[in-house]
Chains A and B, each alone.
Chain A
Amino acid sequence: MTIRILHTADLHLDSPLRSLAMKDPRLEARVRTASRSALETMVRYCIDEDVQALLIAGDLYDGQERSAKTAAYLATQMERLGDAGIQVFYIKGNHDAENPISGEIALPDNVHVFDGRGGKVQLGDEEIFIHGVSFRDKHAPDSLLPKYSSPQPSAINIAMMHTSLGGASGHDRYAPCSVAELTASGFDYWALGHVHKRQIHSQSPWIVMPGMPQGRDIGEAGPKSATLLTISDGSIKVSEVSTSVIEFREVICALDGLEGNDTIRAHLREALRAEAEAGSAILRLRLCGETPYAWHMRRDADYWAETLGSLAQEAGDLWIEKFTIDLIEPTVVSPDGVNALRDVQQLMADISQEEGFAADAQAEMEQILSLLPTDRRRELVPDVAAQDALLARLKEESILSMAAQMRGQGT
């Protein structure tokens, strides 16, 4: 007998996509509720493919999105699964613990929510036991491993845990524990959650971080999926089920030696067509390489933003959320009249490093950023280091942009 179990985590239900590309009404209409679409994809898969259980390893909700409508929506999806006889096992992650809505709406009977004390549940009459421990609070500084009951002998034991393991880039430490400790615990499959990027830490036993089912910004780039466990004759096989409606993708486009609007436009068109073949995506495009046309591109950045938008639309289901110009110019003899500008540019660079200017710029930046909504500001500059980095980047960009404007003057 073959048993199928779908493992997911970090749905962050109703947490929206965070991209400037969403300005495009076409895109907005398509991915307005991408996290719901991802959940529905999984629910549909479970029903269509005769999946027996869905494991949700934490962060079903997002910490910020606290609408009761989200919970109501979740309840309807769980009912769909219940109607199809599919059980759902759910441990609360740090975001769930933080989100008060998670306890307000009663979920249907087919959903088993593990509490903070932990526990195990048998999957129907199968010799399969699901273990799990929920977060009690939004912080879990200590390992949750001791809370897990021992694996059931002579059965498949699947343990669900929301953890950052030993710590991951971009994530705080939550319920820390090591792969070695998990390996030694005697479970057959560790259904982890918390880290948004898919990773298989071990195949014996399986220690799987499935990643989130739908990326929300360029920091969560790449195709997203859920993990399917196929249990047959006491062994587990693991595969991926694609879930994301649209993916974020970072693209680097080299323009070495290219000159002239037409040539560059043609090159970019080809590059975007190739990207379109890889599936619909929201792109962050970085133009790099060495070209004498670099300053033209900088000067005409607005024009190129428009052009890239059109080319992306023409190529297929692509949207450009941002493009950066990291082009450099070849070091050749400057044409007449450029010497003075070069001097001015150097002076700008020098001034930008002076304390007086740095103080003025920082004051102005703080004042301007205070206009942003608090959460957004906190995301942009979470700490002093980030603020300094932003200031440095803005200064550098402003010099390059201004120099390009000056060079382009009169042409």
Chain B
Amino acid sequence: MRLRELDLTRFGHFTDQSIDFGDRHAKGSDFHIVYGANEAGKTTTMEGYLRLLYGFPARDPYGFKHQRANLCVGGTIEINDTDHGLTRLSTRNANLLDATGDVVPETLLQSALGGLSMEDYRKLLCLDDETIEVGGDEITKSKGDIGRLLFSAAAGVSDLSEILDKVEEMTLDIYRKGGSKSLFAELKRQHDQVSREIRDHDVSASDYRSLRDARNQAGETEADLRQQKKALSLNRVQLEALIKAHPLARALSDVEAELEPFAHYPDALDIDPEALVNMLSRRVGLVAARDRAAKELEALEEKRQTLVPRPDALAWAKPLDALKVLKSRVETAQFDLPKRQAQVADELKEMTRRLSDLGIDLGGDPMRFVLGEVQLAALELHRNLLLDAEKTLEADSNEAQAAAEKLDEASKAQQAVEAAANVGPELSALMARYHGDMLLEKVTAARHELALNKRQLTSKLQGLTRLDKTFDDVPLLAVTAAQAKALAGQIVKAEEKRTLSQDQLVAMEKKWGEAKRVVELSSALPELISDAAAAETRRQRDAFWAAHRAALVDETADRFEMAMHADDDKRSIREGQAREIADHRQAIRAEIEARQDFETVSKAHEDAKAQAARLHEQLVGLLQACALPDSLMADELSQWVQQVEDAQQTKAICAAIGNEHAPLFQRASDLQDALATELGEPDAELDALVAMARVRMAQYDEEQRNIQNAEADFAREAAEVERREARRAQSAETRSAARQAWDAYIAQHLPDVTAQIDLLDALPTLRALREINERMNGVRRQIEGMEHDLALFETGICALGFKGDGSPEHEPLAVFAACEAEVSAALRIETDLAGLISRMESEKADLDASQAALQAIEAQVDDLASGFDVKIKTATLEDLREAVRTATRAIDLRATAKVMAQELLSVLNVTTREQAEAELAAMTGQQAAADLQEIDTEISRIEQALDKAIEERAAATLALNAVIGDSDIAALTARKRTIEAEMEAALLKYLEGRFGHMLADRAIRRYRDSHRSGMMAATEKAFSDLTNGAYGALTTQPGAGAEMLMAIQSSDQVAKEASAMSKGTRFQLYLALRAAAYEQMASNGTVLPFFCDDVFETFDEQRTRAACGLMHRIGQTGQAIYLTHHQHVVDIAREVCGGEVSIHAL
């Protein structure tokens, strides 16, 4: 997998940022450095890449600029030589899209990632200061298994131990030794339970046989006991009969003895003794009743003699009854009549008073003012109509008056508003003509733009100040910026050249001096013959030879000889001094060369100086031409010229803006003038004038609105006045008509009422007169009725003809009372007489009945006595009763004796009295009782045994019968077998898991061990390279429960653990581990981009160089991307990798 392009579309502070890593070099390394300053987003780039691979977390710290929902990264990823344009959205699902926007399955990336999780990717292949340390620490201190993480990476899976743990967990869920919650333990429990149920409920063959035997045995025992019990029970019954018979026989003898005196009494009796008792009591009652009736008859006769009847008084009874009602009315009338008559007089007085209150003359009958109900209602209707009409007229008059007042006010208001208007329409026309508002806006913007540029110009002019030289305007330039820059460059180069030549001159001078000293030293040897001296000697010899040749004389020959000897001597000496001479010559040559060099350099230096001076003069000339101080440097001039050009440009912009907006400014000026004139503000600015115009225009609009409103108000009020007046006239007409109707009605029904009297308020009085009249008529009717009743009553009383005793109180009511008393007395006498006669007749009848009943009883006694023997006394009812009692006793005894005899025979189970007596004679009662006790004891014992035997037999039968062909046991057995199958399946699954776990555990260990050595070697080499050999080897040492990775220092062979190293060295170790892991993964077919975020920061230059080499090597296998803000790292990488590193600037 390779990252070809990374697009940070919306992520962190990036928007549409893209890094193109381009094609992979056909040969060489795929090593990239992303260079950017602090905060440029290097770490963001790495995180963005991880988001592309694994998606966005629920809370993304990189969602600070773009909202979480809008985060988006993308890129082009090469997988198996195919480019995949991918986009990762921050949605929850299906968030990986291809170039066409279709959803791409995650498996595309997952398979390319070889199952590496994001956390492991981060720890292994996305290194920053934190992850390199954390991941490295985990690797070097991995608990007891140094190669675990590396192996995981190499195997392309994140963590196989997780699988092992899961499998182990699964097996423990199935079976755990001694555990009670595993699946197997549960099945075992169920199995035991079912087995128990089967055991409890099943019947085996032997059990069945036992059951059958038990039932047979119990049956036999029961039958035997039953037989024994039966025999004993029989014996017992006989003894019990004997015991019972003895007292029975004695009682029978006693009864027979008692019967003997009553032998002559009859065997049967048809007289009921109770009937005799009843007869006796009846006779006593009848005698008493007869005596009482005779006495009562006598007393009643005496009382009848004292009562005398009064037929005369009885004749008044009927007429008095007829007068009773009338009498009561007369009694009331006598009391009420005077009061009613007085009441009539009072009512007439009241009528007179009320009429006089109204001022009506009482010259005539007041009754003529009494009107009927219909007339009163009509009168009230007319009166109400009149009053309503008057009220309406009054209200309408008031409304009309108010409307007239309002109209007047509206008229005044209209006049006031019109008078108050003082603004004309001219301003509006002016503003409209110039589009005042828009013009002001445009002018303001143009002025703002112009002012802005002018400020910039001013600022730039200030920037032109050099030392004490300032500029008010943009100066003219004698030189262009390019020329100035070129001059500055030339001066710099010339100066560099001069300095260099000067340095060289000094060096050459020094060198020449040293060469000269060498020559001097070599020539300073005392016996050394210099070349010059030798040459001189040779020249002298040759000269002497030439002279001798010419002369050929001894002298010349001697001189020649001497010269020749001298030359020979020197040659000889020089031959011995060959080395020194050679050195000397070398020294001379060197001195010559040094001198020549010095001269050359000296000349060059002079040239350089001259050139520098020339350029400086040129600079000074330019400075003067620019009116700048001479002391300015060339680059300062260059910078100044550039600033001037910039200022010129700004000035030109200002001018252009001015020209561009000139018509606008002119129009603005025209408007300003016009407004100033119109508003009378000659000194005001345009914006103030426009503002004032706006205010005035608003005021004009307001005034116009007020005038229109006032006009409308006036028109509305005028219309209202007209309407009100019309209504008032209508109301006046209505009132007039009502008045006429009223007057006409009064004239018709109350003709003698003068016009002066206003009857409008008299209606209640007229109603009262009518009510008084009604009441009075009622009283008069009562008076008439009373007087009529009095007359009728007197006539009735006279008709009775009562004489009385002649006293003066014989008025009708008194006569009526006296007659009534007489009649009452006569009636009482009649009633008493009738009662006496009735009672006497009743008593006589009672007396006769008692005597007849007594005679009948006597006859019945005689009849009953005839059934008895003559020797027995039966003359009286009492005798007869005694004879009957004795006969009854005799009959009862005879029956008892018979029953007892029969019972005796029955008890003894014999047929004759003789047999019974023989039996009784054979055994006494005591003997029988003793025998019975013994038998009872025996029976009780046998019964207990029998109960038990029955119980046993029933139980055995039940148990045997319980064995039926139901399928309970079969079902339980089936269940048991199923559980056993489940147990077997569970254990086999357990074993499969266990074996898998054991095998996998061992295999993984072996795999790791076999790969570990390779990993260790690769790490060792990488670490040695990174530390430039300072650490030559790695080893592991068992620590406290963990295996520690140690590095061996080359210098002293001391093993150091990572924590004891400096941060830089530790990072190098961790980097080496990642490089080895990368190599291992690559060899297994998983090649992924490897990111490092400035982890070389703590490396020295040499180790940085080595680290760049390592990244270069990784790039040769896969893709290495280093993120940094250090230029020197970039430089070193370029130096180490040449053209095989690509630099990308952020």
- Give chain B residues whose Cβ lies under 8 Å from the Cβ of A345: 1003
Interface presence of B1006 (CB below 8 A): yes
Output the nearest chain B residue to A401 by Cβ-Cβ distance.
B996
Q: Is there an interface contact between B1007 and A23, defined as CB atoms closer than 8 Å?
A: no
| With A337-B1085, A368-B990, A398-B995 as contacts: A409 and B162 at CB distance below 8 Å | yes
- Give chain A residues whose Cβ lies under 8 Å from the Cβ of B158: 409-410
Q: Is there an interface contact between A347 and B1003, defined as CB atoms closer than 8 Å?
A: yes
- Give chain A residues whose Cβ lies under 8 Å from the Cβ of B984: 372, 376, 380
- Give chain A residues whose Cβ lies under 8 Å from the Cβ of B1084: 336-337, 339-340
Interface presence of B657 (CB below 8 A): no
Q: Is there an interface contact between A72 and B115, defined as CB atoms closer than 8 Å?
A: no
Interface set, chain B 98-139, CB cutoff 8 A to A = 107, 110-112, 114-115, 117
Q: How far is the CA of A361 from the CA of B111 in the complex (A)?
A: 35
Q: Is there an interface contact between A348 and B965, defined as CB atoms closer than 8 Å?
A: no
Q: How far is the CA of A376 from the CA of B204 in the complex (A)?
A: 21
- Give chain A residues whose Cβ lies under 8 Å from the Cβ of B175: 368, 371
Interface set, chain A 330-362, CB cutoff 8 A to B = 335-341, 343-345, 347-348, 350-352, 357, 360-361
Q: Interface digits, A260-301 against B, CB 8 Å rule (1 contact, 0 not)?
A: 000000000000000000000000000000000000000000
Instruction: Give the number of chain B interface residues (Cβ < 8 Å).
Output: 72
Interface presence of A14 (CB below 8 A): yes
Which of B86-94, B149-157, B1131-1139 forms contacts with chain A? Answer: B149-157
Interface presence of A120 (CB below 8 A): no
Q: How far is the CA of A36 from the CA of B971 in the complex (A)?
A: 11
Q: Interface digits, B175-206 against A, CB 8 Å rule (1 contact, 0 not)?
A: 10000000010001001000000000011111
Q: Is there an interface contact between B1000 and A406, defined as CB atoms closer than 8 Å?
A: yes
Interface presence of A33 (CB below 8 A): yes
A66 partner, pick from B204, B977, B1085, beta carbons under 8 A: B204
Q: How far is the CA of A226 from the CA of B160 in the complex (A)?
A: 57
Q: How far is the CA of A347 from the CA of B1004 in the complex (A)?
A: 8
Interface presence of A101 (CB below 8 A): yes
A344 partner, pick from B166, B209, B967, B1003, beta carbons under 8 A: B1003
B998 partner, pick from A33, A35, A361, A406, beta carbons under 8 A: A361
Q: Interface digits, B980-1020 against A, CB 8 Å rule (1 contact, 0 not)?
A: 11111101101111111111101110110000000000000
Instruction: Give the number of chain A interface residues (Cβ < 8 Å).
Output: 73
Q: Is there an interface contact between A344 and B1000, defined as CB atoms closer than 8 Å?
A: yes
Q: Is there an interface contact between B974 and A33, defined as CB atoms closer than 8 Å?
A: yes
Q: Is there an interface contact between B203 and A69, defined as CB atoms closer than 8 Å?
A: yes
B999 partner, pick from A99, A348, A376, beta carbons under 8 A: A348
Q: Is there an interface contact between B998 and A19, defined as CB atoms closer than 8 Å?
A: no
Q: Is there an interface contact between B965 and A74, defined as CB atoms closer than 8 Å?
A: yes
Q: Is there an interface contact between A398 and B996, defined as CB atoms closer than 8 Å?
A: yes
Q: Interface digits, B24-37 against A, CB 8 Å rule (1 contact, 0 not)?
A: 00000000000000
Interface presence of B43 (CB below 8 A): no
- Give chain B residues whose Cβ lies under 8 Å from the Cβ of A74: 965
| With A101-B204, A344-B1000, A395-B999 as contacts: A405 and B114 at CB distance below 8 Å | no
Output the nearest chain A residue to B968 by Cβ-Cβ distance.
A69
B203 partner, pick from A67, A99, A103, A340, beta carbons under 8 A: A67
- Give chain A residues whose Cβ lies under 8 Å from the Cβ of B188: 371
Interface set, chain B 195-237, CB cutoff 8 A to A = 202-209
B970 partner, pick from A16, A338, A340, A397, beta carbons under 8 A: A16
Nearest-neighbour CB distance to chain B for A14, whole angstroms, equals 4
- Give chain A residues whose Cβ lies under 8 Å from the Cβ of B600: none
Name B's interface SS: helix
- Give chain B residues whose Cβ lies under 8 Å from the Cβ of A35: 970
- Give chain B residues whose Cβ lies under 8 Å from the Cβ of A71: 205, 208, 965
Interface presence of A70 (CB below 8 A): yes
Nearest-neighbour CB distance to chain A for B281, whole angstroms, equals 86
Interface presence of B963 (CB below 8 A): yes
Q: Is there an interface contact between B999 and A69, defined as CB atoms closer than 8 Å?
A: no
Output the nearest chain B residue to A34 by Cβ-Cβ distance.
B974
- Give chain B residues whose Cβ lies under 8 Å from the Cβ of A127: none
A368 partner, pick from B162, B975, B991, beta carbons under 8 A: B991
A398 partner, pick from B970, B980, B992, beta carbons under 8 A: B992
Interface presence of B578 (CB below 8 A): no
Nearest-neighbour CB distance to chain A for B105, whole angstroms, equals 11
Nearest-neighbour CB distance to chain A for B234, whole angstroms, equals 40
| With A19-B978, A22-B978, A67-B969 as contacts: A336 and B112 at CB distance below 8 Å | yes
- Give chain A residues whose Cβ lies under 8 Å from the Cβ of B857: none
Q: Is there an interface contact between A20 and B978, defined as CB atoms closer than 8 Å?
A: yes
| With A16-B974, A398-B995, A399-B996 as contacts: A337 and B156 at CB distance below 8 Å | yes
Interface presence of A369 (CB below 8 A): yes
Q: Is there an interface contact between B157 and A337, defined as CB atoms closer than 8 Å?
A: yes
Output the nearest chain A residue to B1011 by Cβ-Cβ distance.
A340
- Give chain A residues whose Cβ lies under 8 Å from the Cβ of B209: 104
Q: How far is the CA of A368 from the CA of B154 in the complex (A)?
A: 36
Q: How far is the CA of A305 from the CA of B191 in the complex (A)?
A: 24
Q: Is there an interface contact between A410 and B115, defined as CB atoms closer than 8 Å?
A: yes
Nearest-neighbour CB distance to chain B for A94, whole angstroms, equals 17
Q: Is there an interface contact between A336 and B163, defined as CB atoms closer than 8 Å?
A: no
Interface presence of A238 (CB below 8 A): no
- Give chain A residues whose Cβ lies under 8 Å from the Cβ of B184: 371
Nearest-neighbour CB distance to chain B for A267, whole angstroms, equals 22
- Give chain B residues whose Cβ lies under 8 Å from the Cβ of A336: 111-112, 114, 156, 1084-1086
Q: How far is the CA of A136 from the CA of B191 in the complex (A)?
A: 34
Interface presence of A200 (CB below 8 A): no
| With A22-B974, A340-B155, A402-B999 as contacts: A372 and B967 at CB distance below 8 Å | no
Output the nearest chain A residue to B977 by Cβ-Cβ distance.
A16
- Give chain A residues whose Cβ lies under 8 Å from the Cβ of B1004: 344
Interface presence of B964 (CB below 8 A): yes
Interface presence of B841 (CB below 8 A): no
Interface presence of B966 (CB below 8 A): yes
Interface presence of A139 (CB below 8 A): no
- Give chain A residues whose Cβ lies under 8 Å from the Cβ of B995: 352, 361, 364, 394-395, 398
B208 partner, pick from A19, A101, A406, beta carbons under 8 A: A101
- Give chain B residues whose Cβ lies under 8 Å from the Cβ of A350: 1003
Nearest-neighbour CB distance to chain A for B672, whole angstroms, equals 81
Q: Is there an interface contact between A341 and B155, defined as CB atoms closer than 8 Å?
A: yes
Q: How far is the CA of A28 from the CA of B975 in the complex (A)?
A: 8
Q: Is there an interface contact between A73 and B110, defined as CB atoms closer than 8 Å?
A: no
Interface residues in chain A, defined as those with a beta carbon under 8 Å from any beta carbon in chain B: 14, 16-20, 22-23, 28, 32-33, 35-36, 65-77, 99-101, 103-105, 322, 335-341, 343-345, 347-348, 350-352, 357, 360-361, 364-365, 368-369, 371-373, 375-376, 380, 394-395, 397-399, 401-402, 405-406, 409-411
- Between A and B, 28 residue pairs with Cβ closer than 8 Å are A17-B974, A19-B981, A20-B978, A22-B978, A28-B974, A33-B971, A35-B970, A65-B973, A69-B202, A69-B967, A70-B969, A73-B965, A99-B205, A103-B205, A104-B209, A336-B111, A337-B111, A344-B155, A344-B160, A348-B1000, A361-B995, A368-B990, A372-B980, A373-B983, A380-B984, A402-B167, A406-B163, A411-B107
Starting from the known contacts A71-B208, A395-B999, A401-B996, 19 additional A-B residue pairs (CB-CB under 8 Å) come to A20-B981, A23-B978, A28-B975, A36-B970, A68-B208, A73-B966, A101-B208, A104-B205, A104-B208, A337-B1085, A347-B1006, A348-B999, A351-B1006, A372-B987, A373-B980, A373-B983, A394-B988, A402-B167, A405-B167
